[in-house]
Structure 1
Amino acid sequence: MPGEGDNQSTINEHSSKILLNSSEFHNELINLLINEENKESLETLSNLLLPITKLDATTCKGPVLPVNDIRGIDSRTYAKNERYLRCKLASLYRVMDLYGWNYGTCYNHISVRVNNSTDQFLIKPIGLAFHEITGSSLVKIDSNGSIIDRGSTTFGINALSFSLYSSIYKHRPDINCIIHIQTPAVTAVSAMKCGLLSLSQESLICGQTSTYLIQIDLTTNHLSLDKNIQQSTAKVLILPNYGMLACGTTVEEAWHITFHLILACESQLRAVSMGIDNLILPSDNSAKQVTDTVSTGGGGVNTSDTKWSVGELEWSTLMIVLDRAGYHTGYIYREPLIRFIDKN
């Protein structure tokens, strides 16, 4: 006997057929094809086709704006790897928004190095919120913050903030993605003299941390960190009173560190209310074991033949969630996940 879910599926299918066969939809589509400049028709059509995604953490309560909007003639502007990287970075902005970790501002930033052979980076335009970022809207700049490719908007960038990231990219060639985290919990822990304690599994997953004061060059109005940063291998950089930087060799690794770093800071804030002397901290050997295990990828517990880089499996799972919600991330799934998606 068919269940409630089957009935709902039948209703949805019937509704879709009615929409696609309706004269109103037909006229709207013809109008769009005839007049490419009719942006109002494009928006109306998008509202008809795209699902409405409502999540409590995001400020966006309207139709989902597709992440992968680099298509047709526009796709020829970028190399294949850059198109894919643009979509991945735009998806990262969306994930941060869905978790509510951008706090609705347009000033916080995530940046990524385009590739190891060029001194170029992608960053969001300063006028857009996280839930509005798409692959085409990202701005490509050089290490000085000069715009190479403005993307699909006329906005500029937060050059002052990027000068800080640029100094890190310059001295740390192993870092290709930087996420600046300034949630209340992370900022509070950054102001603690004890720094991030090895208190929880999440903090151990983040690995080594280093603390640096932000230096301001009043002549050039640029921000930087101590040049000793090139001697560090830490992927978590604590900026006292200004939050923390989660860094990664890949976008996936930077996200993986960000996720656990925020949880670790929230746990620490709750625990230190009892007094630091009353806390039980793991031994150095235990901490090293957790860090080394996670560094193997796949959460450190992967038993399949498929090898995952740090954060890659977790990131792929998130992309499934976004794609099923209508975000059209453009993410290229690996074989095990392709089979899973096809079955569902």
Structure 2
Amino acid sequence: MTNHATQLSGASVAFDQSVAERKARVDLAAFYRICHMFGWTELIYNHITARVDGPERHFLINQFGLMYSEMTASNLVKIDVNGRVVDGSNARVNAPGFTIHSAIHIARKDAHFIVHTHTTEGVTVACSQDGLSPHNFYGAQLHGQVAYHDFEGISIDLGERERLVSSLGDKSYMILRHHGLLTCGETAAAAFFRMYQLQRACEVQVNTMKMGAELRPLAENILAKTARQAQSSVAKGFDKASGFGEDTYAALVRQLDAAGHNFRD
């Protein structure tokens, strides 16, 4: 956690919000509220971002100083890949969030949404020598799916961006060693569902470690089968026509609406 905040001067342009950007803003604001619902927050720190359609690779990020429970479609900040605010506001953006998220938005065309967390269980597993174990129901679903990035200190050095991208490769799950968890996806639903899988795997692993006993191993063929099932069927609700995590995310958004949350504002 850091209190490094970058005051970014907004470009003197009129705020022009397309239909696609409006959808991205609503999806991202909902994502923040859902993470708040699950307790995946770190005061005013940590970030979830969404890339805005267009060749500029602009993306949306939380305004520094606001809690996840305060995020709305209208108070998200649009910045470019160099960290400049481009929505005409004078909003502040947290420097580490820009560093980590911009790296992946620049490099990965499929990473429209990126979420990074510092949950206790996630950081605990990130600090362990062997990282994530596949030998539980959730870990097995991620067998062979998780990338790792070594800790280099608080992520305010833009030079780390190339190494972050290299560590992630073509994967959509990453454990930042000694630091936390990160997932990405083409949709908010996909990025959320991946974080849910990764977080649950960490929770079960940490609780298993508390028993002080060796993990009961699963066979390699079962691990491969489970990962294949999770990635191709489970996350789609066993419906080939559904998007990755789509049904789960829609149900959570309905919960937000039923509770009267103002994330669409």
Counterpart residue number, 1:79: 18
- Alignment-mate amino acid for residue 191 of structure 2: A
Normalized per residue, which structure has more helix? 1
Whole-angstrom distance in 2 between the partners of 1:181 and 1:160: 12
Which 5+ residue runs of structure 2 have no aligned equivalent? 1-14
Does structure 2 retain, via aligned residues, the 8 Å contact 1:298–1:309? no
Counterpart residue number, 2:249: 315
Does structure 1 retain, via aligned residues, the 8 Å contact 2:116–2:182? yes
My pick for the range that moved more, 235-244 or 76-85, is 76-85
Alignment partner of 2:221 out of 285, 301, 314 = 285
1:263 aligns with 2:200: yes
- Alignment-mate amino acid for residue 237 of structure 1: M
Does structure 2 retain, via aligned residues, the 8 Å contact 1:203–1:261? yes
Cα distance, 1:299 vs. partner? 3.5
My pick for the range that moved more, 76-85 or 215-224, is 215-224
CA RMSD across the alignment: 2.7
Q: Which has the higher contact order (CA 8 A, sep 6+)?
A: 2
TM-score normalized by the length of structure 2: 0.83
Whole-angstrom distance in 2 between the partners of 1:97 and 1:150: 28
Does structure 2 retain, via aligned residues, the 8 Å contact 1:212–1:225? no
Which 5+ residue runs of structure 1 have no aligned equivalent? 1-75, 331-344
Q: Report the number of matched residues.
A: 249
- Alignment-mate amino acid for residue 313 of structure 1: D
- Alignment-mate amino acid for residue 327 of structure 1: H
My pick for the range that moved more, 266-275 or 253-262, is 266-275
Alignment partner of 1:95 out of 17, 29, 34 = 34
Cα distance, 1:156 vs. partner? 0.8
My pick for the range that moved more, 133-142 or 175-184, is 175-184
Counterpart residue number, 1:198: 134
1:273 aligns with 2:210: yes
3-state SS of 1:195 partner: coil
Cα distance, 1:219 vs. partner? 10
Whole-angstrom distance in 2 between the partners of 1:289 and 1:218: 36
Q: Superposed, which structure 2 residues align to 1:14-33 within 5 Å? A: none
- Alignment-mate amino acid for residue 250 of structure 1: T
TM-score normalized by the length of structure 1: 0.65
Alignment partner of 1:131 out of 62, 69, 72 = 69
Whole-angstrom distance in 2 between the partners of 1:217 and 1:170: 20
Whole-angstrom distance in 1 between the partners of 2:73 and 2:128: 37
Whole-angstrom distance in 2 between the partners of 1:296 and 1:165: 26
Whole-angstrom distance in 2 between the partners of 1:326 and 1:272: 39
